[in-house]
Amino acid sequence: MFLKNNNDGSGFDLEALIFDLDGTLIDSIEVYYTMMETVFERLCWPDVPRDVMRKAIKDDGFEWGFMLPPGTGRSDEELIGEAREVIREVYPHLFEDTVHMVPGADQLLRELYEHRVKLGLVTSSLARFIEFKLIPLKKCGVHDLFHTVITLDDVEKRKPSGDPLLECARRIGENPGKCAYVGDTRGDMVAGKAAGMRTIGVLTGLDDYEALKAECPDMIVESVSELPERLGL
């Protein structure tokens, strides 16, 4: 498999593509804002602007300090616990009803599979949530094209550590140097490089072009729908 390098026109061989999920294959970023806004409404917390919510979303966890109301006289643990109860209630319904695959993502996965490219999925979601998060892929009939799916429960260190990607490559049975990681955040690019993989940034998720460019990925595309042409499929 041949992939053009944006910088100098040279190429490199790939045997496997490993994908992030949220903001990369599924258009799910909006649902996280909706969940938090539901928390604010249900618990009568002050609203938090979306640009602040964006700052709270990290590859290594969620910074609840941006969200918690001040002066309640209650511990952060109590407040976070209540918020998580609301999220657990609304999460499945919101995902099933409102989240779809990024346009062209299902066709990309089919083309890669037909070309015998090994496919992996690495997400920072907990295993108990993955059933709901894969619903958009199941609706398109592409959820079973992956050789393996790595969740937060499968490794000790989460992204931006390279460990989840290395575990994925191990289960696929491929050298990390023959893999590329596709994601929408700076943390994805950092993780891919830490794992010794090529990195491809997409602009359908949390981070913009300049944020991704700062991590010097091998390629940045508007969305995964561009990859068939860029990969020469």
Secondary structure (3-state) at 177: helix
Spatial separation of the C-alpha atoms in residues 139 and 122, rounded to whole Å:
20
Can you give the pLDDT at residue 2?
A: 46
* Phi, then psi, of 181 in degrees rounded to 5: -110, 130
Secondary structure (3-state) at 59: coil
At 168-206, the pLDDT tens digits run: 999 999 999 999 999 999 999 999 999 999 999 999 998
At 120-140, the pLDDT tens digits run: 999 988 888 898 889 999 999
pLDDT-based confidence at residue 1 (cuts at 50, 70, 90): low
At 62-88, the pLDDT tens digits run: 889 999 999 999 999 999 999 999 998
Strand partners, 202: 221
Spatial separation of the C-alpha atoms in residues 69 and 183, rounded to whole Å:
32
pTM of the full predicted structure?
0.89
Question: What is the dihedral sign for C-alpha 218, 125, 127, 144?
Answer: negative
At 203-215, the pLDDT tens digits run: 999 899 999 999 9
pLDDT surpasses 80 at 43: yes
Is the link from the previous residue into 160 a cis peptide, with omega within 30 of 0? yes
Average pLDDT, the chain: 91
DSSP 8-state code for residue 200: E
pLDDT surpasses 90 at 91: no
Say if CB 203 and CB 223 are below 8 A apart.
yes
State the DSSP string of 125-154: S-HHHHHHHTHHHHHHT-GGG-SEEE-GGG
pLDDT surpasses 90 at 221: yes
Q: Where are the beta strands (DSSP E) in 65-105?
A: none
Strand partners, 120: 18, 148
